[in-house]
A and B are shown apart, each in its own frame.
Chain A
Amino acid sequence: MEELSSAQQDYLEALLRLERGGGDGASLTDLARALGVKPASASQMVARLKDGGLVTQAPRDMIHLTRAGRTAAEHVETRHTTVREFLTKVLNVPPDVADGDACKVEHALAADTFNRLRDFMDHIGADDIERDNTVPLPLMHRGGTGLLRRIAGGGGRRARLSAMGVHVGTEIRVLQNAGRGPVMIKAGKSRVAIGRGLATCMHVEPTSDL
């Protein structure tokens, strides 16, 4: 996968979308239009992908992704969605901006960086996040207050936090947050220190400035 250029990745991703959009394969014209390039350059690139065994195209016929091409395209797509989700769900970037940024960033990330990003998103349970005005607890500053809205992930996190007086729905105040290390909060009358990893799973709706 590594040897694919970012342009090739874009082509594969576009082909995948066109195929999903319906119909049997994609025509060269559709592909060129989807990517905003001239049909001539599209034709050149398709030929190269064909040499790489990623697409098939009978002369003057529709372009199809091969099995390997589909895998590669899906891989690229996952990178795109993961980055976009990170931008929208964690950083609260508006969706259109996030989509554009994701297109640029997805090619630039090293495989390891991407894997870490994906693990992080899994860890905080990003799939469950619906759009709302919460932020992960570590983004709150010292002195900030907010309502605890969600605690993502399993492993008894909610049970353990609840038993210590930190419930979903209660107001919490950030007592210390050094930018790294644990976060200290007050929930009700309990003062609790929470490791940063766990704090990232706690989504707070700020009731003061961050």
Chain B
Amino acid sequence: MATPRKTIRIALAGNPNCGKTSVFNNLTGAHQHVGNWPGVTVEQKSGDFTYDGVRYEVIDLPGTYSLSAYSVEEEVVERFLRTTPPDVLVNIVDATNLERHLFLTAQLIEQRVPMVVALNMMDEAEEQGLRIDDVQLAQLLDVPVVPIIARRNKGTGQLLAWIAQLGFEPRAGACTVDYGPEIEPAIAALAAHLNPREPASPHMRAAMLLAGRVVCKTDEEDAALQARAAALRRDIERHAREPVEDLFIARWYGFAHGVARTCVTQDARERFDLTARLDDVLTRPVLGLVFFGLCMAGTFELVFALGNPLIALLEQVFAWLGASATAVLPTGALRSLLVDGVIGGVGGVVVFLPNILLLFLAIGFLEDSGYMARAAFVMDGIMHRLGLHGKSFIPMLLGFGCNVPAIMATRTLETKRDRLITSLIIPFMSCGARLPVYALFIGAFFAPHWQAPVLMSLYLLGILVAVAMANLLGLLFFGSDRSPLLLELPPYRLPTLRSVLMLVWTRAWSYLKKAGTVLLAASIVMWYLCTHPAPPGGVEHETRFEHSYAGTVGKAIEPLLRPLGFDWKVSVALVTGFMAKEAVVSTLAVVYDVGDGEGGSHALQNTLREDPVFRNRPLVAYTLMVFVLLYVPCLGVIAIFLKEYGWKWTAFMAAYTTVVAWVAAFLVRMAGVALGF
């Protein structure tokens, strides 16, 4: 037995929707979301666990259909396997669609990395009358095969046992794909010239060289070898009258088809196909759009109808906290900091947690049920007119939750053009953090029966602006070249409670963390800026702020925002909103000094209603909401943008969103005034 290494590295590979993320969760227990649309795991995620006293590191590779490097994910996986091969590769395949999943297996198997195949969704396969001979499958592939049901965490023990075994006694299977009489002689000719010191199989290295790719560094540096490969490739193509690439595809497919045929048998019984029935209705041209609209409307209704009573409850909790602190602490800076700054600022944001939880609950349900991909299909016609395609819609929809993961999700798009345009319009998707701002103002200025429509109108406005900008940006910078839509529609599945709750929990946690860190800091900084320098003795609140730093900043930018009807207090809130959009609410709470006593957003709403800027003017509130919707997104978005696209595009994004926001808010105000609001 080999001496145990310190850590054994495992990588999980498989098609999108194969249950890879479930396996990842089962192995690591990590709190990570299981999605159902292609590409939820764009990031390379990792976790670790200890088994039998040994530490294992698990890398969750992005879901890919092949290793051909046609998308960012495929590139990531291909490069990962080439440059940093893991100790054990776990290939997760969907037992209900074995043939297609084996297409990837055919390419993985020749990497000559110790590999175990996890045969997932055995329960669904059985329901569909599929019988899979896993023993035979293991023989044909020459690697261990473990039947599992990842959703219900079944078979994890056995999978672990195999991983451990391969970790300690590495053994790569000897199975090779037969590339046929056109290619095999060329492979043999080429393999003879390969540097034998590389671990990867010479057969695969030669094959990949013929396909115009290099698998390892020594091959990359060997120019003579590549010239030889190119010559052989030309020969083959002249002979077969087909691109070499196509010959490879045919052979991988032949391999997958042959293995699946040998190992899978299906009984002849007719079964009720839920996915077919649902798709028949839900993806029809008109009906599909109607259903999609209802889904969205239902989501917003849920967020408010169910969320508001819970918000009221949380408000009482913070009011009580504020009152207790006021009662216990002596008057002075500390009490002011705690009550006005911390409880008022952070509390004003945390109370909106129910809205955010419900929104993510709805999005998580749509994602995990498989409907999200249908939404993309239904929307493709419309998206096409924006110069984008349906797939861009998924990141945009995610943008309603939070812009940051939405921008990360644009990596599922194939061309840089699509990625960039989609990322540039995602900030107009009204994220969860903007919801507290709307909730505050809508609650204060609109009658209950108007609240849902007003909210809906903001979301729609965001979409409209995004549409207009997508067109404009496409025209200005990118031309009309776009990659074709190609999207898998996974079977409908009832989302497991665990996976949806896990999503909600991770989002809730990150929201609270943000509240506890960025927002806490922002609130304290704001409190300081609002209370210093100390006002001349015995002055009223209003004037006290005018002398503070915050007042000075607000006043400085006030002239710019005056045409929109905003005063310096709102201006300050908009500045801090750059840290995080929900900070607009906490800043207003501090600026208006309503953190103490009765506490919560209710008090702030009352104060706002009486403020001369807003008094009886829903229009000003609406203008402000439009501005908050559109202007420069929060620091988090700026950070991810910087990472993805560099500072030039980031600067452009920040500038153009703000200009768009100003113009849109101004137009809304002008239109409102003209209409007599």
Residues of B within 8 A of A178 (CB): 284-285, 381
- State how many angstroms separate the Cβ of B353 from the closest Cβ of chain A: 36
Known interface pairs A159-B66, A163-B103, A191-B275; A184-B489 also in contact (CB < 8 Å): yes
Q: How far is the CA of A176 from the CA of B489 in the complex (A)?
A: 12
**Is there contact, CB below 8 Å, between A190 and B97?**
yes
**Is there contact, CB below 8 Å, between A192 and B97?**
no
**Is there contact, CB below 8 Å, between A189 and B285?**
no
* Nearest B-chain residue to A178, judged by Cβ: B285
CB 8 Å contact bits of B235-251 with A (1 = contact, 0 = none)? 00000000101100100
**Is there contact, CB below 8 Å, between A188 and B100?**
yes
Residues of B within 8 A of A154 (CB): 243
**Is there contact, CB below 8 Å, between B486 and A160?**
yes
Residues of B within 8 A of A175 (CB): 276, 279-280, 283
- Is B619 an interface residue, CB under 8 A from the partner? no
Known interface pairs A160-B70, A182-B377, A182-B380; A198-B486 also in contact (CB < 8 Å): yes
Q: How far is the CA of A142 from the CA of B490 in the complex (A)?
A: 19
Q: How far is the CA of A163 from the CA of B572 in the complex (A)?
A: 53
CB contacts under 8 Å to B, within A138-186, are 154, 156-165, 167, 175-176, 178-182, 184
Of the candidates A162, A175, A182, the one having the most CB atoms from chain B within 10 angstroms of its own CB is: A182
Option from A158, A163, A184 in Cβ contact (under 8 Å) with B377: A184
**Is there contact, CB below 8 Å, between B486 and A195?**
yes
Option from B68, B99, B280 in Cβ contact (under 8 Å) with A165: B99
Known interface pairs A175-B279, A176-B284; A160-B68 also in contact (CB < 8 Å): yes
**Is there contact, CB below 8 Å, between B279 and A189?**
no
Q: How far is the CA of A165 from the CA of B140 in the complex (A)?
A: 21
- State how many angstroms separate the Cβ of A201 from the closest Cβ of chain B: 9
**Is there contact, CB below 8 Å, between B285 and A159?**
no
- State how many angstroms separate the Cβ of B461 from the closest Cβ of chain A: 25
Q: How far is the CA of A175 from the CA of B246 in the complex (A)?
A: 27
- State how many angstroms separate the Cβ of B385 from the closest Cβ of chain A: 10
**Is there contact, CB below 8 Å, between B484 and A194?**
yes
Residues of A within 8 A of B279 (CB): 175-176, 184, 191
- Is B390 an interface residue, CB under 8 A from the partner? yes
- Is B384 an interface residue, CB under 8 A from the partner? yes
Known interface pairs A184-B279, A184-B377; A195-B97 also in contact (CB < 8 Å): no
**Is there contact, CB below 8 Å, between A180 and B65?**
no
- Is A197 an interface residue, CB under 8 A from the partner? yes
**Is there contact, CB below 8 Å, between B486 and A161?**
yes
Known interface pairs A192-B487, A193-B487; A162-B377 also in contact (CB < 8 Å): no
Q: How far is the CA of A184 from the CA of B373 in the complex (A)?
A: 12
**Is there contact, CB below 8 Å, between A165 and B100?**
yes
Known interface pairs A158-B249, A159-B70, A163-B66; A198-B103 also in contact (CB < 8 Å): no
Residues of A within 8 A of B380 (CB): 181-182, 193, 195
- Is B220 an interface residue, CB under 8 A from the partner? no
**Is there contact, CB below 8 Å, between A195 and B484?**
yes
Q: How far is the CA of A191 from the CA of B94 in the complex (A)?
A: 14
Option from B381, B384, B484, B486 in Cβ contact (under 8 Å) with A164: B486
**Is there contact, CB below 8 Å, between A165 and B103?**
yes
Known interface pairs A165-B99, A193-B390, A195-B389; A156-B485 also in contact (CB < 8 Å): no
Of the candidates A154, A157, A163, the one having the most CB atoms from chain B within 10 angstroms of its own CB is: A163
- Is B253 an interface residue, CB under 8 A from the partner? yes
* Nearest A-chain residue to B243, judged by Cβ: A154
- State how many angstroms separate the Cβ of B76 from the closest Cβ of chain A: 15
Known interface pairs A176-B283, A181-B384, A184-B279; A189-B97 also in contact (CB < 8 Å): yes
Q: How far is the CA of A163 from the CA of B252 in the complex (A)?
A: 9
**Is there contact, CB below 8 Å, between A192 and B486?**
yes
Known interface pairs A184-B279, A193-B390; A198-B68 also in contact (CB < 8 Å): no
Classify chain A: how many residues form its interface, as a range. Answer: 20 to 34
- Is B104 an interface residue, CB under 8 A from the partner? yes
Q: How far is the CA of A184 from the CA of B390 in the complex (A)?
A: 13
Residues of A within 8 A of B276 (CB): 175
**Is there contact, CB below 8 Å, between A164 and B488?**
yes
Residues of A within 8 A of B275 (CB): 191
- Is B210 an interface residue, CB under 8 A from the partner? no
* Nearest A-chain residue to B378, judged by Cβ: A181
Q: How far is the CA of A198 from the CA of B484 in the complex (A)?
A: 6
Residues of B within 8 A of A157 (CB): 484
CB 8 Å contact bits of B470-484 with A (1 = contact, 0 = none)? 000000000000001
- Is B376 an interface residue, CB under 8 A from the partner? yes
* Nearest A-chain residue to B384, judged by Cβ: A181
- Is B601 an interface residue, CB under 8 A from the partner? no
- State how many angstroms separate the Cβ of B288 from the closest Cβ of chain A: 8
- Is B96 an interface residue, CB under 8 A from the partner? yes
Option from B68, B280, B283, B376 in Cβ contact (under 8 Å) with A163: B68
Residues of B within 8 A of A188 (CB): 97, 99-100
**Is there contact, CB below 8 Å, between A165 and B486?**
no
**Is there contact, CB below 8 Å, between A158 and B486?**
no
* Nearest A-chain residue to B374, judged by Cβ: A193
- State how many angstroms separate the Cβ of B14 from the closest Cβ of chain A: 12
**Is there contact, CB below 8 Å, between A181 and B488?**
no
Residues of B within 8 A of A161 (CB): 486
* Nearest A-chain residue to B383, judged by Cβ: A181
Q: How far is the CA of A160 from the CA of B276 in the complex (A)?
A: 24
**Is there contact, CB below 8 Å, between A163 and B487?**
no
- State how many angstroms separate the Cβ of B252 from the closest Cβ of chain A: 8
Residues of B within 8 A of A165 (CB): 97, 99-100, 103
CB 8 Å contact bits of B90-131 with A (1 = contact, 0 = none)? 000000110110011000000000000000000000000000
**Is there contact, CB below 8 Å, between B249 and A181?**
no
* Nearest A-chain residue to B104, judged by Cβ: A163
* Nearest B-chain residue to A159, judged by Cβ: B68
Residues of B within 8 A of A182 (CB): 377, 380-381, 390, 485, 487
Residues of B within 8 A of A167 (CB): 253
Known interface pairs A165-B103, A184-B283, A197-B484; A159-B245 also in contact (CB < 8 Å): yes
* Nearest B-chain residue to A173, judged by Cβ: B276
20 A-B pairs, CB-CB below 8 angstroms?
A156-B68, A157-B484, A160-B68, A175-B280, A176-B283, A176-B285, A176-B377, A178-B381, A180-B381, A188-B97, A188-B99, A189-B99, A190-B97, A191-B490, A193-B376, A193-B377, A193-B390, A194-B485, A195-B486, A198-B485
Chain A positions within 8 Å of B, measured between CB atoms, are 154, 156-165, 167, 175-176, 178-182, 184, 188-195, 197-198
List the 3 shortest-distance A-B pairs measured between CB atoms, nearest first: A195-B485, A181-B381, A198-B484
Not counting A184-B283, A189-B97, A195-B485, a sample of 12 additional A-B residue pairs whose C-beta atoms are within 8 angstroms of each other reads A156-B68, A162-B66, A163-B66, A165-B100, A175-B283, A176-B283, A184-B489, A191-B279, A193-B390, A194-B484, A195-B380, A195-B484
